[in-house]
Amino acid sequence: MVEEAGGVYLSTPVFGQPAAARAKQLVVVSSGDQGGRERVLPLLQAIGKKVIDVGEDNAKGRSSCLHREQREERETRRITLTSGVSLKLLGNGVLLGAIQLYAEVYALSDAIGFDPAVFHELHRESCLMNPRDIYGRKPLRCARSAELQ
């Protein structure tokens, strides 16, 4: 229907909290039709500090089957994830993992009677703040290392 009207579907998820949106400091991910991405780029740049263009959507390797039991019948639906949604899911996985890790560390700090403010200071002032900045791309070297260097 959209294509029949001359439109295209794009995937443009964002990273950032509401305050970042108000300040136009979002990180915007863009995927889909190249011409469509080029047309909306000025809009995406207007709402974000960075636009990460992940290119054309390619369903190869990005689809999965969902199975749902319905009485005695088995229904199968194929869902295709866009490149933009795939990156959003990966990014959210990192964020959720970090939040869980910090919750566990602060709970441990509390359980052993250690002042969480001291740990927070260490976190803020050391490599714990962003290990990627200190250790670089080492975790990335295992996959597609030639492309990343």
Query: CATH for 3-114?
Result: 3.40.50
Indicate if the pLDDT at residue 147 is higher than 90. no
Domain ranges of the chain: 3-114
Taking only the tens place, the pLDDT of each residue in 1-50 is 778 888 888 999 999 999 999 999 999 999 999 999 999 999 999 999 99
Q: What is the rounded distance in angstroms from the CA atom of residue 118 to the CA atom of residue 128? A: 13
Closest CA to 85 of 9, 2, 8: 9
- Whether the Cβ atoms of residue 31 and residue 54 lie closer than 8 Å to each other: yes
- Whether the Cβ atoms of residue 48 and residue 20 lie closer than 8 Å to each other: no
For tokens 């009207």, name the residue: 5
Whole-model pTM over 0.85: no
Task: Output the pLDDT for position 61.
Answer: 43
**68's tokens:** 């749902």
Q: Which DSSP letter does residue 60 get? A: T
Count of alpha carbons within 13 angstroms of residue 98, beta-carbon side: 12
